[in-house]
Structure 1
Amino acid sequence: MKAFCAARMSTDPRLLPSHGVLHASTREMTADAQLLAERIVEQGRAEAAQLLAEAQVQARHAVQAAETRVLEQGVQLQQGMEAAMADLLEQAQDIVLRLAAELYDRLMLETAPQEKIAAACRRLLREAPPKLVNAVLRLHPGDMPAPDGTPWPCKADPELAPGCCRLEADSGEWRADFNAAAASLRQALAVLPPPAAEPDMMSDATPDAMADIATAAS
């Protein structure tokens, strides 16, 4: 039998009964061992609870750190998208402005001299007061005769540029220049600000002047 035993367990002689009877000291030792075992179990439970609490705290910290990283990545992604959209809008605006300038130049080239001087005269009709005394409209010789519906007598003036007219009267003088208004509007198109800014870059080209230009080019 001994050949099959890996090890032999020895028993404390104090725990062995004497003639089948356990001594009081033996019982006390057994009770102490039981109490010690209970303490070990309680200590193990306390350590397990502490480890579980620490694990829960670490898990919460890990979740918070992950949420912070996700939020930061979301903010970076949003900023990148906004920057890309701003670049796209800027490029689109440049294309639109270039096309608008090309169309405007084409319209100006296709506008006949008679239409230009007619637009300038309409401007004078709006600005000049009624019932002028000794009123005379002066035009470039190439713009003669005056457009239909002009209420003043007209004279040729070679010192005036084509498309320009001047109204003289006892109470004052008024001048309208189609080409100057068109050049001012063309310059305003070239320096138009981005959509975010709203300065009045077209103050030189008044709404009336732009309306005259649009009417002449139509």
Structure 2
Amino acid sequence: MNTPIVSTTQLSFQYPNSAPIEFPDIYIEKGQHTLLLGDSGSGKTTLLNILGGLSRPETGQVNIYGQNLSLLSTSKLDQFRSQYIGFIFQEAHLLKNLTLVENIKLAQSLSGKKVDVSTIELILKQLQLDQKSNAYPNELSRGQLQRAAIARSIINKPALLIADEPTAALDDNNTHRVLELLLSIAETAGSTLLITTHDKRIKEQFSKMYLLK
């Protein structure tokens, strides 16, 4: 039996002075691209942070690629995350004083891997950013920043690629374009895609989804 990319049991999370949020058990196999659907306030981003090891759950267990995240120290968790999990946030969060290619090289070196310039160049070309490799973040358009965030997130070929509301505020044409790009990139990198969204337009592209209420 193959090791699932994601499996969770009895997860809950509690913010101060609030009722606990309980989440459905999740089981995602390799290549099983999945949606986390829910309205604003349903806990999508909270769950994403738990699955990515950015937050610790109140109860329950998260296994990513067979690793129980709660058993890892903070430093080991940071290292595991950089090797196996890629994040695409709504904002690119690139370091402003580094060029695009330097940002991606940093992501490679932080994971403990040797910087591979040829792979970086290939990904930038695939994302039509090869002419911008020496540009700084403030010299990139919003669309270029979005693609730069994707490039950085996949450079280490993560087992799990998490995208938080990647189609928010996009029109239909650009929503379709970004979605096709994410699916294509995930396929190339051998990553399993997990998207949190309240965007009902993209439901037909996915056979597996979880609804948060």
TM class, shorter-chain normalised? Answer: under 0.3
Report which of the two structures shows the higher radius of gyration computed on alpha carbons.
1
Structure 1 or 2: more strand by fraction:
2
Kindly indicate whether structure 1 or structure 2 has the higher relative contact order, using CA contacts under 8 Å at least 6 residues apart: 2
TM-score by length of 1: 0.17
Structure 1 or 2: more helix by fraction:
1
